[in-house]
Chain A
Amino acid sequence: MNPDDRTGADGAAVGGNLLFGPQPDVAGAAGYPQAPPRMGFFTDTSVCIGCKACEVACKEWNAVPEDGLELTGMSYDNTQGLGADTWRHVAFIEQRKPLGGQEPGVAHEDVDVFAAATRLGTDAGSPGPGATAPPPDRASEAAPAGRISPLAPEGRTELRWLMASDVCKHCTHAACLDVCPTGALFRTEFGTVVVQEDVCNGCGYCVPACPYGVIDQRKDDGRVWKCTLCYDRLGVGMEPACAKSCPTESIQFGPLEELRERAQGRVAQLHAAGVTDARLYGESPDDGVGGDGAFFLLLDEPEVYGLPPDPVVTTRDLPDMWRHAALAAVSLAALALGSFVRRPR
């Protein structure tokens, strides 16, 4: 059972949603008859704290080399983007926008902590005037227990920090895999996309083919590298290193179907709590790449995080490209024929 031998068959059948559109059985279409459920990531950026444990865990587990020790000066993000030596990248964005869930405008200047301390234990049920905690009746209306509170009613503008751990999307229709001429990139039984480093000859075609700018060539090595969704760990029933290390469960790993359900629930929860910015990215099987195996919950437009707003797999247009090239080849032959129609003088 050598999976890379199937990539030829994967590409050969054009149509039947092999190049574009929803594809519920992506491993089956790649030639795995009894494939396990498709596995993926759901990265809920609303709970990401930007700790970069995922970046570190990924590097440790996969022995990814150092990716440049420089300070960009633009933000707390010094990794900048995904590449050959960065398989997880935590984006950091600072915006002049209030963050849903914060309680801005809670001032502490007028609180006499000593006076409050003297009352400790005497009237625990009702804090004194000017105390930091809102009275229980107001609290319940603003932020029900265990839920995220809505925006401050006075709508004070504050800074907000957006953090998001980016990763290879493991597209349903992966352009990198489609254009790979050696079969080094292949679809695993888990529906993920992995490079076989013993096959890759560093042609670099996958690099401009990826609509997300994920895969890249390692300069001193010549081959291309990207996230494998920890294929080695998946094989023995373990979760990928980044998900394992995520302290807030911003990175969730599991069967894609289950993750999609969970993500829908999470968006509904955030919307109910007044975080209307929350939206899913890459989760829809109807999008330009047939849905991502690794999708996201974002709090702003995708481009703010450096993600393309509406990526389309380039091979969607490939049959049309071949048609135009065939027409051009015929035109060239006709042009040459036209050059010779007159006899020499």
Chain B
Amino acid sequence: MSGSDVTRGGVRGARPDREALTGAAAGRRRRRRGRGEQPMVPEAEFSSYYGKPVLNRPTWKPLDIAGYLYLGGLAGGSSLLAAGADLTGRPVLARAAKLGAAGAISLSLAALVHDLGRPARFLNMLRVFKPTSPMSVGSWLLTAYAPLTMAAAATDVARRYRLVGSAATAGAAVLGTGVATYTAVLVADTAVPSWHEGYRELPFVFAGSGASAAAGLGLLAAPAGQAGPARRMAVLGAALELGSFQLMKQRMGLSAEPYEQGRPHLLLRMSEVLTAGGAALAVVSGRRRDRWLAAAAGTALLTGSAALRFAVFHAGVASAEDPKYTVVPQRERLTERGR
């Protein structure tokens, strides 16, 4: 034992909680004004229980679930691209999209099973069908969709059973629209403020993001002569994604704040630059017939879409961890109701 724990700077090793305020004084936080961060709403005063979150933190692993949101969108978009490419006679684009969809959905299934607390019980997902549970709906959707993508890819690669392949491709395209968008309902159907409050626009954000990711894959794989639809899909998808996201943030009120702070903020800026830049590059690559430019555009679009999904995931978790986003909007609601 050498010396005292009490130093001029205070008690060594003391927990910061010792200064925690009680009751009404607790939870009133002074926001550190970060560089370039503009408060979207006036500073809210609220009470909390020692600043502890009201909600329990989502237990989902970021890589598994944000990764699945991304891969599901990529797969769904790719299935649409594959069906279109098949119909319009673009074999290279079609094969890339089919393989992309099958690969992405296989990885998704692996990620989803890996995220379970009891992976061995993954089949319990098919024990019941519950429309009130987006995860149950999604499980059944994937059960139908995944084999279709695999059949489409396998028949294309084997060059056999063309009729079966066409039917599988068409079926995967129809279900793919659902796979790419239902994930928005999956995260929105929670008490997590930054997910739930965006439930109107989030499916459109995810649809656009899935389309731009699939377009990115198409641009990477297909020659310029066949990549026309991928280029157009990149532009349309990016526009839908970025437009819906802006609309969502405007309508969310306080719950939009976690999207503008810390890691989600960084990821979102990245996603915006990559998605918009990728779409612009895609257009240029089409004019110049440049494979390398197209590959760069494709990589940017794929990365941009992934960044968006991770941003949405982390923003939701951040909103669940701060009681402000739970308490303030609810308190405002009560005040409006005049109780």
Q: Which residues of A contact B (CB under 8 A)?
A: 5, 7-8, 10-12, 14, 19, 72-75, 80-83, 91, 93-97, 162, 175, 178-184, 199-205, 207-218, 221-224, 300-301, 303-311, 314-315, 317-318, 320-322, 324-325, 327-333, 335-340, 342-345
A207 to B59, CA, bound (A): 7
Known: A74-B17, A216-B56. A179 touches B132 (CB 8 A): yes
**Are B189 and A179 closer than 8 Å at their CB atoms?**
yes
List residues of chain B with CB within 8 A of the CB of A333: 80, 173, 177
List residues of chain B with CB within 8 A of the CB of A321: 134, 184-185, 188-189, 199, 203
Q: Name the interface residues of B214-268: CB closer than 8 Å to any CB of A.
A: 215, 225-226, 228-230, 232-233, 236-237, 240
A-B contact pairs, 26 of them (CB 8 A): A8-B130, A72-B17, A74-B18, A75-B20, A95-B22, A96-B23, A178-B132, A179-B135, A181-B125, A182-B121, A182-B125, A183-B130, A199-B124, A202-B116, A202-B118, A216-B56, A222-B117, A223-B118, A303-B54, A304-B47, A304-B49, A306-B54, A308-B326, A321-B199, A329-B182, A339-B81
A311 to B48, CA, bound (A): 15
Q: Name the interface residues of B42-74: CB closer than 8 Å to any CB of A.
A: 46-50, 52-60
B323 at the interface (CB under 8 A from A): yes
List residues of chain B with CB within 8 A of the CB of A318: 132, 134, 185, 189
**Are A183 and B56 closer than 8 Å at their CB atoms?**
no
For the complex of A and B, the 3 pairs showing the least CB-CB separation, nearest first, are A202-B117, A222-B117, A306-B49
A194 to chain B, nearest CB (A): 16
B143 to chain A, nearest CB (A): 12
List residues of chain B with CB within 8 A of the CB of A224: 117
Q: 0/1 per residue, B191-210, Cβ < 8 Å to A? A: 11001100111111011101
Known: A203-B135, A303-B46, A340-B229. A311 touches B191 (CB 8 A): yes
A329 to B195, CA, bound (A): 19
Known: A179-B132, A304-B23. A310 touches B189 (CB 8 A): no
B100 at the interface (CB under 8 A from A): no
List residues of chain B with CB within 8 A of the CB of A345: 225, 228
**Are B226 and A335 closer than 8 Å at their CB atoms?**
no
**Are A184 and B132 closer than 8 Å at their CB atoms?**
no
List residues of chain B with CB within 8 A of the CB of A182: 121, 124-125, 127-128, 136
List residues of chain A with CB within 8 A of the CB of B124: 182, 184, 199-201
Known: A183-B128, A213-B55, A324-B200. A336 touches B190 (CB 8 A): no
B273 at the interface (CB under 8 A from A): no
Q: Which residue of B lies closest to A223 (CB)?
A: B117
**Are A208 and B207 closer than 8 Å at their CB atoms?**
no
List residues of chain B with CB within 8 A of the CB of A5: 128
A102 to B159, CA, bound (A): 86
**Are A199 and B127 closer than 8 Å at their CB atoms?**
yes
Looking at B29-37, B160-168, B296-304, B329-337, the stretch in contact with chain A turns out to be B329-337
Number of A-B residue pairs having CB atoms within 8 Å of each other in the complex? 306
B10 at the interface (CB under 8 A from A): no
> How many residues in B have their beta carbons less than 8 Å from beta carbons of A?
98
List residues of chain B with CB within 8 A of the CB of A95: 22-24
Known: A8-B129, A73-B15, A209-B191. A303 touches B211 (CB 8 A): no
Known: A83-B56, A95-B24, A328-B181. A340 touches B84 (CB 8 A): yes
Known: A328-B207, A336-B84. A303 touches B47 (CB 8 A): yes
A91 to B230, CA, bound (A): 57
**Are A93 and B23 closer than 8 Å at their CB atoms?**
yes
Of the candidates B133, B202, B326, the one whose C-beta lies within 8 Å of that of A11 is B133
Residue of B177, B204, B331 with highest tally of chain A CB at under 10 A = B177
Of the candidates B17, B23, B84, B207, the one whose C-beta lies within 8 Å of that of A73 is B17
Of the candidates B48, B135, B182, B225, the one whose C-beta lies within 8 Å of that of A306 is B48
**Are B117 and A217 closer than 8 Å at their CB atoms?**
yes
**Are A181 and B54 closer than 8 Å at their CB atoms?**
no
A204 to B23, CA, bound (A): 31
**Are A94 and B23 closer than 8 Å at their CB atoms?**
yes
**Are B127 and A183 closer than 8 Å at their CB atoms?**
yes
A223 to chain B, nearest CB (A): 6
Known: A81-B52, A183-B127, A199-B124. A204 touches B180 (CB 8 A): no
B292 at the interface (CB under 8 A from A): no
A81 to B226, CA, bound (A): 58
**Are B84 and A75 closer than 8 Å at their CB atoms?**
no
A315 to B240, CA, bound (A): 26
Residue of A97, A310, A338, A339 with highest tally of chain B CB at under 10 A = A339
List residues of chain A with CB within 8 A of the CB of B215: 339
List residues of chain B with CB within 8 A of the CB of A82: 56
Q: Name the interface residues of B81-120: CB closer than 8 Å to any CB of A.
A: 81, 83-84, 87-90, 115-119
**Are A311 and B330 closer than 8 Å at their CB atoms?**
yes
List residues of chain B with CB within 8 A of the CB of A214: 56
Beyond A204-B60, A303-B46, A329-B178, 20 additional contacts (C-beta under 8 Å) are: A12-B130, A72-B17, A175-B190, A178-B130, A182-B136, A199-B121, A201-B121, A204-B58, A208-B58, A209-B191, A211-B55, A211-B191, A215-B56, A304-B49, A320-B200, A321-B189, A321-B203, A322-B131, A324-B199, A333-B173
